[in-house]
Amino acid sequence: MAAFSRELHDFRSSLTAEIEKLNDRVKDLEQHVEERDGIIDQLSEELRQSRSEVSALEARVEEAEINSRLPCLILSGAAMAPRRAPRLEPPLPNQTAPAAVDPRPIAPADTGRDPPTVTSQSADRPNSGGPDQSAGRGGRERVAGRAGEWEEREDINALVISTLNQCLPGLGLAANDIDRAHSLPGPNNRVIVRFVRSGEGSARDRVMARRMELRGRELFINESLTKLRSRIFRSLLAAKRERRIYTVYSRGGHVFFKEQQHGVGKRVDTLERVRGLCCNPPWLGHHGGITFRVDLPVATRRSDPPAVRREAALRATAELPHPDVTIWSDGSARGGRNRAAQALIQFHHLNREETVRAPAGAVCSSLRAELTAMREAFAAVAGLEDGELASTKSGNIESFHTDRQPAKWKE
């Protein structure tokens, strides 16, 4: 008995020692975690400050680029197509060029003297001014490249001046109004023009003020926008084509839009603002004979009994137009690789039903499963035979989905 008591005492002592060691270890880990949490908080604050500074620098860079692009305009259209004058083609590699004609009179032949030596310069040989001599700044220039390649450089400045003066009578654009101009890669004959100055009364602003007179002249004038502003402009232009906004335009390097014809222009500086304007749900701006019902006649909650929610759904269904096809879709994030998306299709005019099951992917959400079920159901409707599909197109199609567990469809 004494031995058992001694062993029990030793066991308690060793167990107490181990527990104290574990407590000390836990305290050390807690202290280490607290230190790490402090470091993480400090790094998070530094990251937040760095992001704020980067955002401020990006805004400054964007504003500086806007200011640098203010004197620039982009001209495009068929009116800016290169105009190449007819010229004599260079000789073939094994063919000599015709000699230049000497305008001086030829002296009569003298049989008593040696015949005079006549020197001529080939038409394909550069003059004494050097191989790179041109007719002046912006003039036409012929350059002999490798393997006898020839190219003709066109005076872009003169093309811009003549085109604008021709399309905008009375503009009076002169060569000293343009700093430089050059063609841009891509279609539609785009040319970027940098004017000497911008602002009230400048040639650049006079051209912009009269650009609406160019309708039907195959010449388009736009401001030179930054990469961000160009994306914003294209996004708003797509929204205009979809009739979500009335118009979109740019002024001073910034992009504006109007929701109505006589509305006030609103400036857009971020893509997040564009997404808020252009990504409206379909039931807010749909066109055509489509009926959306996004609410129930009786408000329900997730905690309500299934019978109450079913009654509310049936009442909403009864208020919709009588359909030819009803699609009941359901999806769940569980078992995405198997049959997470399911749909029951009721063909009322054909007096039959079909069941569709499909996997929604290994990484799956409930929304993805719901959309997959609806997509497969629509594909099944589109895959009907010609006669059945024609009769279905003349009616209506309903689609409902629920947020409960996947239903057990009948085979």
Strands laid side by side in the 266-268 sheet: 247-251, 254-258, 266-268
Burial 147-183 (b: 16+ CB within 10 A, else e): eeeeeeebbbbbbbbebbeebbeebebeeebbeebee
Q: What is the DSSP letter of 130?
A: -
pLDDT in tens, the chain (411 residues): 777 788 888 888 888 888 998 999 999 999 999 899 899 999 999 999 999 999 999 999 999 999 999 999 999 998 888 876 555 556 656 655 555 444 444 444 444 444 444 343 333 444 444 434 433 344 444 444 443 333 444 588 899 999 999 999 999 999 999 999 999 988 889 999 999 988 888 999 999 999 889 888 889 999 999 999 999 999 899 888 888 889 999 999 999 999 888 888 999 998 888 876 655 555 565 555 667 777 777 778 878 888 888 888 888 877 777 778 888 887 776 655 566 788 888 888 788 888 888 887 666 777 788 888 888 888 888 887 766 766 665 444 445 544 443 333 333
pLDDT of residue 227: 92
pLDDT in tens, 319-335: 777 778 888 887 776 65
Residue 247, strand partner residues: 258
In degrees and rounded to multiples of 5, residue 231 shows phi and psi of -65, -40
CA dihedral 177, 182, 187, 189 (to 10 degrees): 40
Amino acid letter, 145 = G
User: HSE (CB half, 13 Å, CA atoms) of 215?
Assistant: 2
User: For residues 301 and 373, is the Cβ–Cβ distance under 8 A?
Assistant: no
Q: Residue 198: which region, alpha, beta or left (left: phi > 0; alpha: psi -120 to 50)?
A: beta
pLDDT in tens, 22-70: 999 999 999 999 899 899 999 999 999 999 999 999 999 999 999 999 9
Which string of DSSP letters, residue by residue, matches 68-96?
A: HHTTEEEEESGGGS--PPP-PPPPPTTSP
